[in-house]
Chains A and B, each alone.
Chain A
Amino acid sequence: MLEREPAAKVASALAAYLVDERRTRELPALIRDLEQLRFARDGVLEATAVSARELTAATRQAIQALLPASKVQLYTEIKPELVGGVQVRALDQQLDLTIRSKLQRLKNLTTKAA
């Protein structure tokens, strides 16, 4: 289907279907499935790096080098509330190196102990 129809048209039809069927919650899972399909077919791994500040080219390369694929399409996203560090999501896996998550783990220490 992807080969015959333009991607934007397919995406619009898919979005309309999800809205009509009230299954928009399944959108993230659907995207992951599509990413896995693309990774399996083309060997291209789509990844998202979320950080509090703009990432430098060297940092992006370091992130790409960490991922297990020869071709990596890295998307970046800025979220200041992460304070620092980076959160990398690829397929159904996630690597959280943000300061926010470490601080949250610190806050949850006593709750888990109790």
Chain B
Amino acid sequence: MINLLPHILANAEEPQGIAALGLDPVAIAAQAVTFLVAFWLIKKFALTKIVATLEQRRQTIDKGVLLGREMEAQKANLEARVAELLKQARAQADGIIADANQSAGQIIKAAEQQASQKVETMLADAHLKIEDDLKRARQSLEQEMLALVAEATEVIIDEKLNAQKDNSLIGRALAAVRR
């Protein structure tokens, strides 16, 4: 088979000017006109609405962003307020705990003092009772001892005393009375 392509290419005319670059000015102009017409049509019938829609979207987005920023600010404020409230609550809680601890300490101290006084009173009562018991026991013992002494004396005197001695004793007693 004979290859004809190189011969065809060799025999073709060489293009001149802009055509040498492979561009057709007519086609370019037609395309420009077509573009302009298309641009005019788009601008006339669609671009305004598209722009309006885009503007509306942009505004919506801006509003959303603004709202988000406001919400962030409010959140920050809220967090700050919450933190402040937490701080106040903690301070109040600390104060309440301190007051409670102080009150508890005072109550415990008062209870200790009361208990101490009660113990002292009980001890004093116990001492008094012991002293009273001792006194009573001592008196009872003395009474018992004196009773024993009297009984023993009575027995001894009864054994030792006869009529003569008794009369002598009576005589001395009467003489003492006479004096």
CB–CB B167/A59 < 8 A: yes
Q: Is A107 an interface residue (CB 8 A)?
A: yes
Question: Is A110's CB within 8 Å of the partner chain B?
Answer: yes
Q: How far is the CB of B134 from chain A (nearest CB, A)?
A: 13
Q: Is the CB of B163 within 8 A of A54?
A: yes
Q: Are A62 and B157 in contact (CB under 8 A)?
A: no
Q: Given A54-B163, A66-B177, A59–B170 Cβ distance below 8 Å?
A: yes
Within the assembled complex, what's the spacing in Å between the Cα atoms of A40 and B149?
45
Give chain B interface residues in 150-164, CB to chain A under 8 Å. Answer: 150, 153-154, 157-158, 161-163
Q: Is the CB of B167 within 8 A of A66?
A: no
A33 to B178, CA, bound (A): 27
Q: In the complex, what's the smallest C-beta–C-beta distance from A63 to chain B, in angstroms?
A: 7
Binds A, one of B14-22, B97-105, B138-146: B138-146
Q: Which B residues are in CB contact (< 8 Å) with A58? A: 167, 171
Most A Cβ at <10 Å: residue of B143, B163, B166, B177 = B166
Shortest CB-to-CB span from B15 to chain A, Å, is 161
Say if the beta carbon of B27 comes within 8 Å of chain A.
no
Q: How far is the CB of B120 from chain A (nearest CB, A)?
A: 29
Contact of B166 among A51, A66, A103, A111 (CB under 8 A): A51
- With A107-B143, A111-B143, A114-B139 already in contact, the answer to whether A99 and B154 are too (CB < 8 A) is yes
Q: Quote the shortest CB–CB distance from B138 to chain A (angstroms).
A: 9
Contact B171 A62 (CB under 8 A): yes
Q: Is the CB of B170 within 8 A of A97?
A: yes
Q: Are A110 and B146 in contact (CB under 8 A)?
A: yes
Name the distance in Å between A98's Cβ and chain B's nearest Cβ: 9
Question: Is there contact, CB below 8 Å, between A103 and B154?
Answer: yes
Interface residues of A in 36-62 (CB under 8 A from B): 51-56, 58-59, 62
How far apart are the CA atoms of A26 and B76 in the complex, in Å?
117
A95 and B177 contacting across the interface, CB-CB below 8 Å: yes
Instruction: List residues of A whose CB falls within 8 A of some B CB.
Output: 51-56, 58-59, 62-63, 65-66, 83-86, 95, 97, 99-100, 103-104, 106-107, 109-111, 113-114
Top 4 nearest A-B pairs (CB, nearest first) are A103-B150, A53-B163, A97-B173, A110-B143
Spell out B's residues near A (CB within 8 Å): 139, 142-143, 146-147, 149-150, 153-154, 157-158, 161-163, 166-167, 169-171, 173-175, 177-178
What are 23 inter-chain pairs, A to B, with CB distance below 8 A?
A: A52-B166, A54-B163, A55-B170, A58-B167, A62-B171, A66-B174, A66-B177, A83-B161, A84-B169, A85-B169, A85-B170, A85-B173, A97-B174, A97-B177, A99-B154, A99-B157, A103-B150, A103-B154, A106-B149, A107-B143, A109-B146, A111-B143, A114-B139
